[in-house]
Amino acid sequence: MTDSTLSNNHENKFSSMSLLSSANNSSKMQQNPKNILHSIIFRGMIFFQIIAYGSYSVLVHLCEKDGQITFSSATMNFMIEFIKLFFSLNAFIYFQEIHFNKIQILSCFKKSLPYSIPAILYFLNNNLAVHMQLHMDPASYQILSNFKIITTAILYRLIIKQKLTKRQWFALTLLFFGGFAYSLGTLKNSSFISKTIVDSTLVMREMYIRPLGIPMIIIYCSISGLAGVYNEWILKKNFTESLHLQNIFLYTYGTIFNLIPAISIIITRNSQNGNSYSDLFHGFSFYTWLIVFTQALNGLFMSVVIKYSSNIIRLFVISFSLIVTTVLSFFIYHINFNMYFFASFITMTCALSLYYTN
């Protein structure tokens, strides 16, 4: 073999290696923007969830009239579930070719049955969350809803068998006593207590929790923890199954469970009013529709987070939403935050820092 041939072969190998190297670099450059985009979208979803969770109780209070909720909670939750179901159905049809027969429909029905359990738990909890707002101010609701972290962590240990460190158990204990001390200090038997400031133009409202609010929040946090953990267990148990199909199962049951009481309320209302007709959206306002659309998006985003990440992210969202609620409560209701709130806020912040830090 001549020197020129060897030289050519060497040059060819070098050029091939250069091409392969540049191809790999190009592939990495193509993957990195995609990963960065996914990361930005994921963070954007979490940010939106924090806003949605934080504004929920404030928006419900804005729908109050003479100490009563103006709309049917079942109707509102029916609309939320229906929008989520509609989106999931369209997404499933768009991304997959569907050729159903009787056997497949029967198989899908059997697969859907486990999703009826979290659906009925969410149905109970979402309706309880609306009526619970009458028994506490928005900031108190957000403080006490952090008890979800305790119930979720315990159920995580029992159902998904995830072990907690001693530091996490200490953090949960700190979180519990922080919320417990706040509830005792803020417990009142009345609604917002107004206090007029010097110039008589600004009215400060005190924080309050009615006695019935305590058992309601305990039930709410217990059901919420069970629903969240059980739903994550189902989603990850059938991880290879389409998320859109799983959402269809869950939201179909949710839509049905909320539609039944919504229709019964309309029938009862019409029978009481004689000939006057009451529609499905009786009492709905701009704020009610804002709740519907923000919570529908919130639910869809949360299903992605739970399946591909963890329920701990959900707790992270709930924790940080307290800041949003506090800001909105101050500027909209001019709530006069008491010392129990600040003490509980600091205690819970320390507890959450201990719990989430690796």
Q: What is the mean pLDDT of residues 43-51?
A: 88
Which pair of structure tokens corresponds to residue 78?
């029916």
Q: Nearest 10 degrees: CA dihedral of 40, 46, 49, 51? A: -80
Distance CA 86, CA 93 (A): 11
- How many other C-beta atoms can be found within 10 angstroms of the C-beta atom of residue 105? 9
Q: What is the mean pLDDT of residues 234-238?
A: 83
Distance CA 49, CA 65 (A): 27
Q: Nearest 10 degrees: CA dihedral of 49, 55, 60, 64? A: -170
**Bridging pattern class, strands 194-196 and 68-69:** unpaired
The whole-number pLDDT of residue 17 equals: 46
Please give the angle made by the CA atoms of 293, 70 and 284, to the nearest 5 degrees: 35
For 230, half-sphere exposure in the C-beta direction (CA atoms, 13 angstrom radius) is 17
Q: Is the pLDDT of residue 6 over 60?
A: no
Better pLDDT: 350 or 215? 215
Q: Which helix (H) or strand (E) holds 79?
A: helix 73-95
Distance CA 257, CA 116 (A): 9
Q: How far is CA 77 from CA 251, 291, 322, in A?
A: 11, 10, 22
Q: What is the mean pLDDT of residues 273-296?
A: 83
Q: Please write the tens of the pLDDT for every residue from 7-29.
A: 444 444 444 444 444 444 444 44
232 Cβ neighbours under 8 A, 6+ residues apart:
160, 306, 307, 310, 311
Better pLDDT: 310 or 251? 251
For the chain, the distance separating the N- and C-terminal CA atoms, rounded to the nearest angstrom, is: 63
279: left (phi over 0), alpha (psi -120 to 50) or beta: beta
Q: Point out the least confidently predicted range of 30-39, 74-83, 126-135, 319-328.
A: 30-39
Q: What is the mean pLDDT of residues 136-155?
A: 85
Q: Is the pLDDT of residue 317 over 90?
A: no
The whole-number pLDDT of residue 278 equals: 59
Which pair of structure tokens corresponds to residue 353?
């820092």
Q: Is the pLDDT of residue 337 over 60?
A: yes
Residue ranges covered by each domain of the chain: 49-95+113-356
> Which residues make beta-bridge pairs with 64?
69
Please give the angle made by the CA atoms of 123, 125 and 128, to the nearest 5 degrees: 110
pLDDT above 70 coverage of the chain, percent: 80
Which pair of structure tokens corresponds to residue 137?
């101010």
Which pair of structure tokens corresponds to residue 324?
């949003």
Which pair of structure tokens corresponds to residue 98?
């569907």
The whole-number pLDDT of residue 9 equals: 47
Q: Please write the tens of the pLDDT for every residue from 48-63.
A: 998 998 999 999 999 9
Look at the block and give the residue holding tokens 């803020």: 186
Distance CA 149, CA 319 (A): 9
Q: How confident is the model at residue 105 (pLDDT cuts 50, 70, 90)?
A: low
Q: Please write the tens of the pLDDT for every residue from 156-188.
A: 888 777 777 888 888 888 888 888 888 877 777
Per-chain mean pLDDT for the chain: 79
Q: How far is CA 295 from CA 64, 67, 222, 302, 356, in A?
A: 18, 23, 20, 10, 25
Q: Is the pLDDT of residue 327 over 80?
A: yes
Q: Which helix (H) or strand (E) holds 113?
A: none
Which pair of structure tokens corresponds to residue 61?
């209070």
Q: Which helix (H) or strand (E) holds 142?
A: helix 138-144
Ranked by mean pLDDT, the top range of 21-25, 289-293, 312-316 is 289-293
